[in-house]
Chains A and B, each alone.
Chain A
C-alpha cells in the first residue's frame, strides 16, 4: 500500500511523471495543466528526476519535439489542455501514425470561443479520432494510476501507440484529495525499461522515419496503425490487472458501479462519476435499482464489453461533457447507442450535455436524470432524447 497524501490532481500527475522519470519532456504552459510542467521543472531543479525538459514556444512544437525525441529513441511525455491540445492537432495524428509511444497528461478543458479556462471534454472528445489511446480518470488517484499504466500500455510491442490520460480541469486538477502515492522504486519496477525499436540515435543503422506514402501504401499503413490501437484493449486489461497485483487497485476497461441488476443507468466518464456514485448510493438505500457505467477506456472504444454491462437496464442516460455540435448526441451517447444496436436490449437511451466550461453538476442534477429515467420506464415515452443539465432556461 502506498503513502496517503493530500494533493491535487495536477500534483498526482506530476508525481507519476517524476516516478516514471521519462528521458525527455517537451511542454508549454496552459491552464489548467500548467502546474504539471511547473512541478516537473521543480523536481528537476531539486534533483528528484533527471528528465531533459524542453521548454518549447508552443504546443505544436511541444508535440513536434516529443515526436523527434521519441523517434531518437527513449521515453517521452508531455502535458496540455484545451487550446494547447487543439494546437497539437496535426502532430497528434503524426505521433500515432509514426507509432511513437508518447504519453500525455491532458487536463481536460473547454475550447474557445468564448474563452473559458474551466473543465469539460471538448478537447479530448474533439481529438478522439487522432489515433491515440484515451484513458479518462475520475479523480486524482486514477490520474496518477492511469499515467503509470499508460506508459506500459503505449510501449507494449503489440500496441506502440501514443496514449493520453485525461483528468477534469479544476474538478480534479485543482482539487485536493487524499490518494495513495506509491513507492518510487516500486513504480520504476512496474514500468520497467523501455527499448526503442528503431532509434535514430543508433547511427550505425540509419533509419528513415516519416517517409510519405502514396495511394498504393497509405491505406495499409493506416490499417496497421489501427491494429496497434485495437490491440491496446487487451493490454489495458492486462496492465490494469498487473497494476492491481502490484499496488492493490485493480483496473478494467470500465467500472460497473452497482450495475448487476440496475434498471436505471447513467453512463459517464470523468469526475462527474464521483457525484453520480453518491446519488446511486442514495437511491439504492431507497430500493431504487440505479447504477453507473463509468467509461475508463474511450479509445479504443470497448463497445462489446460496454453494451454487455447495460443489458439489465430499462432506461439509460448518457452524460456527455461536450456539445453534440450537430450530431444526434454527444460522442459517448452515439457510441453507446450504436453499441447497443447489436444486442437484445432495446432500452431507451437519452443524452445530456452537462458541465460545459466548468458549469457545476450537483447531486440534484444527477437525481433529476434518474427521475427522468424512471418516468420513461413508467410511461414508456421519451419526451426529450437530448437535454442539458443545469443550463439557464429550458433547452428548446
Chain B
C-alpha cells in the first residue's frame, strides 16, 4: 500500500462541503475507499441508494462527487449499477471507450438488508463487475432511526422502542454476509473504518476482481446510536474488539478472520457508551445483556470454526 503522505496527495473522489452530521462515518469510509482504489489504473463510477449519504452529498445544485455518480431510488443501487456496467461492456466492445472503469454501488443497511436485498441478489447472481458497499448503521437513519433487519438485538429505535413492557428490538440482527455468501461470489468481506488499513486492503482486493464483490462496513451513527460525534471511530473499534463486528473475508467460500482481539472485550464495553442500549443496563434487564453476549459469542465461535475448516467452495482436497 502507498505511504500515508502519498495517499494524502491523491485526488479525492468525495470532496468536502457535504452535509453529513459532524462525526458521521459515511464520508470517512468513502474516503478510505477512494484512497484504496488504484486510480492510476482505473476510473471509478458510483451508484448510490437513497439514504443519509446520498441526500448529504448530492443536493442540487451542488455535488460532493468528483467521479460520475448516480442516484435513482432506495432499493435499486445494485440494479442501477448493473445497467451502467452493461452499458460499459457495450462501450468497450464498440470502441467508444478505452478506459478501464470499476463500478461501486453504495447503500446502507436499509437499502441492502431490507428493501434492496432482491436487487442485490439479482445483480450478484448475474455476475456484473461491481463492488457493493453496505455502510451498515443498524437502522433507517435517514428517516430518523427506524429499525431495520440490521438493527441489533435489544437496540432502541423509534419503531422498536423500549417501554414499560418492551425492551427494544426483539430479533437478532440479520446475517447478511451469509446471504451474500450463498451466491458463491468470489469475494465478500466485513470491515470497519477504525481498522482503515484492513478496510483499504479489502477494497483494493475487491476492485481487482472481475465480478461481483461485497463489503459490509460498520458505520457508527452519532445521532441514531447516541454517542458524542468525536467517538465514532472508537465505537467502531469497540465493535471490533468485542467481536460484535468481526473483521473477516470470504474468499471463494473460504473464511479468513483478519483480526482476532488478544483480549475479547465483553459486549458491555460496546453497549455502554451508546444511548440506544441504555435501557439494557436497567435493573432487571441483565438477562438481555447476557442474551446479547450469547448471540455475539455464538457467531464468533461459528466463524472461528469455519476458518479452522478452511474449506474453499468448489475446491476438492486433491487440488
B58 sits at the interface (CB 8 A):
yes
A residues contacting the other copy or chain, number (CB 8 A): 44
CB pair B101 A201 closer than 8 Å: yes
Contacting residues of chain A (50-109) with chain B, CB-CB under 8 angstroms:
50, 52, 54-58, 60-62, 64-74, 76, 90-91, 94, 98
Q: Is the CB of B72 within 8 A of A23?
A: no
Shortest Cβ gap from A56 to chain B (Å): 6
Q: Mark A214-227, 1 if CB is under 8 A from B, else 0.
A: 10010001000000
B70 partner residues in chain A, CB cutoff 8 A: 67-68, 71, 200, 208-210
- Interface membership of A197, Cβ < 8 A: no
Q: Which residues of A contact B83 (CB under 8 A)?
A: 24, 26, 54, 64-70, 72, 76
Whether B69 and A91, one on each chain, are in contact in the complex, defined by CB atoms closer than 8 angstroms, is no
Tell me which residues across on chain B come within 8 A of A201, comparing CB atoms: 45, 68, 84, 87-88, 91, 96-97, 99, 101
The reply to whether the CB of B234 lies closer than 8 angstroms to some CB of chain A is no
A1 touches B (CB below 8 Å): no
Q: Residue among B72, B78, B123 with the most chain A CB within 10 A?
A: B72
Task: List B7-64 residues whose CB lies under 8 Å from chain A.
Answer: 43-45, 47, 54-55, 58-63
CB-nearest residue of chain B relative to A221?
A: B60
Residues in chain B near residue A115, CB distance under 8 A: none
Counting chain B CB atoms within 10 Å of each CB, the highest count among A55, A76, A203 belongs to A203
Contact A211–B59 (Cβ < 8 Å) = yes
What's the Cα separation between A342 and B44 when bound, in Å?
55
Once A211-B63, A212-B59, A214-B59 are accepted as A-B contacts, the answer to whether A56 and B47 lie under 8 Å apart by CB is: no
Q: Which of A204-261 contact B (CB under 8 A)?
A: 206-214, 217, 221
A357 to nearest B CB, angstroms?
28
Contacts of A66 in B (CB 8 A): 83
Q: Answer yes or no: B179 CB below 8 A from chain A CBs.
A: no
Pairwise interchain contact A67-B101, C-beta atoms closer than 8 A: no
Q: Which residues of A contact B91 (CB under 8 A)?
A: 72-74, 201
> Cβ of A68: which chain B residues have Cβ within 8 Å of it?
47, 70, 72, 79-84, 87
Max count, chain A CB within 10 A of own CB: residue among B45, B65, B73, B86: B86
Question: How long is the Cα–Cα vector from A57 to B119 in the complex, in angstroms?
Answer: 7
Residues in chain B near residue A54, CB distance under 8 A? 82-83, 86, 126
Asked whether B60 lies within 8 Å of A211 as measured between CB atoms, the reply is yes
One of A60, A69, A76, A209 near B75 (C-beta < 8 A): A60
Contacts of A65 in B (CB 8 A): 79-80, 82-83, 86
Return chain A residues, CB-CB under 8 Å to B122. 56-58, 61
* Cβ of B26 to closest chain A Cβ, rounded Å: 16
Whether B205 is near chain A, meaning CB under 8 Å from some CB there, is no
Contact assessment for B73 and A213 in the assembled complex, using a CB-CB cutoff below 8 Å: no
Tell me the complex Cα distance, A221–B81, Å.
24
**Cβ of B90: which chain A residues have Cβ within 8 Å of it?**
23-24, 52, 74
Q: Select which of A94, A203, A221 is within 8 A of B72 by beta carbon.
A: A94
Q: Which residues of A contact B61 (CB under 8 A)?
A: 211, 217
Instruction: Evaluate contact between B118 and A206: CB separation under 8 angstroms.
Output: no
Interchain CA distance A211-B50 in the complex, whole Å: 10
Interface contact B97-A24, CB-CB below 8 Å:
no
Given the complex, which residues of B lie within 8 Å of A206, measured CB to CB? 65-69
Cβ–Cβ < 8 Å partners of A56 in chain B: 79, 82, 122, 126
Q: Assess whether A23 is in contact with B87, with CB atoms less than 8 Å apart.
A: yes
CA distance A94 to B69 in the complex (A): 16
**Cβ of B43: which chain A residues have Cβ within 8 Å of it?**
203
Instruction: Please tell me which one of the listed residues A64, A72, A98, A210 contacts residue B58 in the complex, with CB atoms under 8 A apart.
Output: A210
Question: Which residues on B sit within 8 Å (CB–CB) of A76?
Answer: 83, 87
Q: Kindly identify which residue among A26, A73, A210 contacts B71, using a CB–CB cutoff of 8 Å.
A: A210
Residues of B within 8 A of A200 (CB): 45, 68-70, 84
B68 adjacent to A64 (CB under 8 Å): no
- Once the chains are docked, how many angstroms separate the CA of A200 from the CA of B90? 14
Residue of B nearest to A62 (CB): B79
- Write the nearest CB–CB distance from A95 to chain B, whole angstroms: 8
Query: B55 — which chain A residues lie within 8 A by C-beta?
Result: 212
Known: A58-B122, A72-B84, A211-B71. 18 other contacts (CB 8 A): A23-B87, A26-B82, A57-B121, A60-B79, A60-B119, A61-B76, A61-B82, A61-B118, A61-B119, A62-B79, A64-B83, A68-B80, A68-B82, A207-B69, A211-B60, A212-B54, A214-B59, A221-B60
- 8 residue pairs bridging A and B, Cβ less than 8 Å apart: A52-B90, A55-B126, A64-B80, A64-B82, A68-B83, A200-B69, A210-B70, A211-B60
B interface list, Cβ under 8 A from A: 43-45, 47, 54-55, 58-63, 65-73, 75-76, 78-84, 86-91, 93, 96-97, 99, 101, 118-119, 121-123, 125-126
